[in-house]
Structures are given as structure tokens and as C-alpha cells.
């Protein structure tokens, strides 16, 4: 690891993460235009949005395993190239099936890139700065979402294809920027496949990586449940206008991004990762009873939801900062990140589905029970992580 942090390279890699994340959010912004232009049913159109999540839920760990066979730099360049050309190809799609196929191609590139960037950040960051840099990377998804919320509508008057073309060009420009970076990282072994099974056993046989993945999946479950259903809650139950509901939702996403970046500050002042997660999950379990209450005013519910997503936003940042403690080599880190990515996307898919199912069956009054369960599970993962981190610290050289 370097003795001094290369802040220029760090900035370039963080920008690459945000640009990659733009590809995730563009489909949600453009969905009504895509549906109308290609004459898609809502079910088919939903796959344009959900392709990334399904891909990550199915292939997160396998992608991490495959990425461990290559240097992080080569993996990132390949991922950006696939995502960029996939976006450009999507602009030429004239059917829902073709557009979904290009979204899967994009998703493969995005998945590989998102696994490679943290490995490269470790290669250009001094050890004493990792607790600051890796939490900054954790904010790439909400940051990309906010940028797309603001910039996407400006391009849509030119057609949804313009959004795909501009995003594809941005990814390819980012590819050129990353290609110009000189990053020294450990060389891949002459026969990396020989160490593949031992590396997989090392990751899956230790409690630390699995607990990080479970904590991240539990976080994304509640994040997507709340962020995804908050506009519906505000409009249908509380009578808020669609415009106001959208503004409140945007504020919660921004708060979440700030929470992601704040994790580094907490870690630097000595707050342990497990305590950050335990505190945030405890708030989730309690805040749900207020957020889904029909007795509180809209302002109070909006404030609770914003604080909830801000506090829980500290969880991804702290997890990214902690992952290298369980993965001393770049190859091991790729597998750990793949495992985390898989559970993250499972949480993304299951959160809105389970919450909507409970609300449809039992009503909004039962929704707090879901968040209470999330809080309890999250605290359990945090306390178990405390023990795993102590063991990892005791066995590290």
C-alpha cells in the first residue's frame, strides 16, 4: 500500500463511480418516455429499471470471483467500456426486448466497475486515509441518483435516447481518464486460477465478510423500502401533492449521500464500525413507528424519514472502510465486495416487495413491524461484527 495518498487519482476514481451510477438512475427518470415510445406494458418497462438489480442479486458473488482473476485497473477499464457501449447501443433499441438486453450489458459493466473501484482506491490511498476515502466512495450511488434527478429532465425533451447517448459518452470519456492514470497495484499471479478456490474458501469460511454482507443487505432492504414507498405514503395516505412528495424524496436521498460521506468522519474520531451500524439500525427500528403513523404531521414524518436515511447512510461507508480488514489482498477484496454486492441487490429487490405486500395485506399500520425487524436484525449483525473485528485484529500481523 502507498505511504502517501494520491488525491488526484482518488478524485478520478470517485468520479468514475458516480458516472457509473448515473447509468442506474437514468432508466427510472426516463421510464414514462420509454414506455410510451416503445409501447411497453408497465411490467415490461419495469424490467428496464430492474435489470441492474436482478443481475447484481444473481451474479454479485460470481462477478467478484471472476474479478479476482484480473488486476483492478483492467477490470475497471473493461467494465467502463462495456457499460459505455451498452448505453450507446441502447439508444438505438426499437423494442423493449432489445432495450432490456442492452440494459443487461450495461449492468455487467457497471457491476465489474463497482467491484474494481474500491480495490483501486486502496492501491492509491495511504492506510491512514482509507477510513476517509472508502466512505466517500460509498456515496457514489445516492450522488449519482441526485445528479440524474436534476440533469435527466433537462435532456428528456430531446428524447430518452439523448439520455442514453450522453450517459454512454460520459462513461467512455471516463474510461479515457482512468486509462491515463498510472496506478501500481499487486500483479496477478501467473496462474490466478490456482488460488481461486482457496480464496473463495477464505472469504466464505470467515464470519466477517458474511456479516458485512448481511448488514449491507439489511440496510438496502430498509433503504429501498422507505425510499421507494415514501412518495406513495405521502400522496395516498397523507394527501401530499406529487410535486411535494418528489421534493421530500429528493431531500431524503441527499441526506443519505451526506450520511455515506459522514461515516469517514465518525471512523476517524474513533467510533467503531459496529457501533455506527448498531446505532443506525436502532434508530430504524424506532423511527418506523413514527414514519408510518397517521397521527404525526407531514413535516414530522418527512423529518424522521430524512434523519433515518441520513443515519443509515453511515452504514455503507463504514462497511466499505471495514471490508479491507477482512481481505488483506486485492483478490480477496474482490470476492468480499462481490458477496456484499449480491446481498445488497437482494435487499434492493426484497425491500419494496415485502413492504408493499405487508401494506397491501394488512395496511400501513403494520409497516413499522418490518422496520422493527430490520432494526433488531441489524443490531445483531453489528454485535457479531464487533466480535469478528476483534478476532481479525488479534490475528493480523
Among residues 127, 112, 115, 120, the alpha carbon closest in space to that of 182 is found at: 120
Pick from 7, 335, 272, 277: which is nearest to 131 by CA? 272
Tell me what pLDDT residue 80 has. Answer: 95
Distance CA 98, CA 72 (A): 30
Q: Are 166 and 298 in contact (CB under 8 A)?
A: no
Alpha-carbon gap, residue 82 to 240, rounded angstroms: 41
Ranges of the chain whose pLDDT falls below 70:
1, 42, 186-193, 396-397
Locate 30 and state its grid cell.
426516463
Q: For residues 232 and 220, what is the distance between their CA atoms, to the nearest angstrom?
A: 19
* C-alpha cell read off for 11: 478524485
CA dist 294 and 365 (Å) reads: 8
Cβ 227 vs Cβ 249: under 8 Å: yes
Which cell numbers in the block locate residue 21? Answer: 451510477
Contacts 24+ apart (CB under 8 A), 227-230: 227/252, 227/253, 227/256, 227/309, 228/351, 228/352, 228/355, 229/352, 229/355, 229/356, 229/359, 230/305
Measured CA angle at 332 (ends 265, 3), to 5 deg: 50
Q: What's the pLDDT score for residue 155?
A: 87
Per-residue pLDDT of 307-349, as tens digits, reads 999 999 999 999 999 999 998 888 899 999 999 999 998 998 8
Q: What pLDDT does 397 receive?
A: 58
Distance of alpha carbon 357 from alpha carbon 362, whole angstroms: 8
pLDDT digit string (tens) for 369-391? 999 999 999 999 999 999 999 98
pLDDT at 190: 54
Max distance between CA atoms of the chain, in angstroms, equals 65
Cβ proximity of 80 and 20 under 8 Å: yes
**Residues in CB range of 30: below 8 A, 6 or more apart:** 152, 156, 160, 163
Q: Residue 186 has what pLDDT?
A: 67
Write out the DSSP string of 141-201: HHHHHHHHHHHHHHHGGG-HHHHHHHHHHHHHHHHHHHHT-----PPPPSSGGGGHHHHHH
**Reported pTM:** 0.88
Amino acid at each position: 500500500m502507498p505511504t502517501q495518498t494520491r488525491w488526484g487519482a482518488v478524485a478520478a476514481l470517485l468520479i468514475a463511480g458516480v458516472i457509473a451510477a448515473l447509468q442506474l438512475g437514468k432508466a427510472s427518470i426516463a421510464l414514462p418516455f420509454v414506455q410510451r415510445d416503445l409501447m411497453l406494458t408497465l411490467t415490461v418497462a419495469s424490467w428496464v429499471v430492474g435489470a441492474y438489480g436482478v443481475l447484481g442479486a444473481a451474479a454479485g458473488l460470481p462477478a467478484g470471483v471472476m474479478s479476482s482473476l484480473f488486476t483492478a485497473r483492467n477490470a475497471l477499464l473493461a467494465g467502463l467500456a462495456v457499460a459505455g457501449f451498452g448505453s450507446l447501443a441502447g439508444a438505438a433499441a426499437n423494442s423493449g426486448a432489445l432495450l432490456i438486453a442492452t440494459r443487461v450489458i450495461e449492468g455487467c459493466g457497471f457491476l465489474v466497475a463497482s467491484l474494481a473501484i474500491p480495490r483501486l482506491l486502496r492501491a492509491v490511498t495511504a492506510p491512514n486515509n482509507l477510513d476517509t476515502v472508502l466512505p466517500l466512495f460509498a456515496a457514489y450511488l445516492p450522488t449519482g441518483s441526485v445528479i440524474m434527478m436534476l440533469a435527466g429532465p433537462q435532456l428528456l425533451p430531446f428524447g430518452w435516447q439523448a439520455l442514453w447517448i450522453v450517459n454512454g459518452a460520459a462513461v467512455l470519456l471516463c474510461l479515457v481518464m482512468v486509462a491515463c492514470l498510472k496506478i501500481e497495484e499487486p500483479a496477478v499471479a501467473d496462474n490466478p486460477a490456482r488460488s481461486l478456490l482457496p480464496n473463495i474458501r477464505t472469504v466464505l469460511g470467515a464470519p466477517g465478510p458474511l456479516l458485512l454482507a448481511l448488514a449491507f443487505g439489511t440496510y438496502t432492504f430498509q433503504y429501498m423500502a422507505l425510499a421507494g414507498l415514501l412518495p406513495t405514503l405521502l400522496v395516498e395516505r397523507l394527501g401530499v401533492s406529487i410535486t411535494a412528495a418528489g421534493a421530500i424524496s429528493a431531500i431524503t436521498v441527499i441526506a443519505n449521500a451526506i450520511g455515506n460521506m459522514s461515516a469517514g468522519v465518525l471512523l476517524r474520531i474513533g467510533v467503531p464500525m459496529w457501533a455506527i451500524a448498531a446505532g443506525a439500525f436502532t434508530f430504524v427500528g424506532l423511527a418506523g413507528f413514527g414514519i408510518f403513523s397517521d397521527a404525526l404531521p407531514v413535516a414530522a414524518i418527512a423529518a424522521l424519514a430524512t434523519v433515518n436515511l441520513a443515519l443509515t447512510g453511515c452504514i455503507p461507508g463504514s462497511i466499505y472502510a471495514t471490508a479491507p480488514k477482512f481481505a488483506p489482498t486485492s483478490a480477496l477484496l474482490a470476492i468480499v465486495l462481490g458477496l456484499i454486492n449480491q446481498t445488497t441487490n437482494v435487499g434492493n429487490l426484497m425491500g419494496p416487495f415485502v413492504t408493499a405486500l405487508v401494506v397491501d395485506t394488512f395496511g400501513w399500520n403494520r409497516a413499522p413491524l418490518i422496520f422493527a425487524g430490520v432494526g433488531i436484525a441489524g443490531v445483531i449483525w453489528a454485535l457479531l461484527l464487533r466480535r469478528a473485528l476483534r478476532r481479525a485484529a488479534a490475528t493480523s500481523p
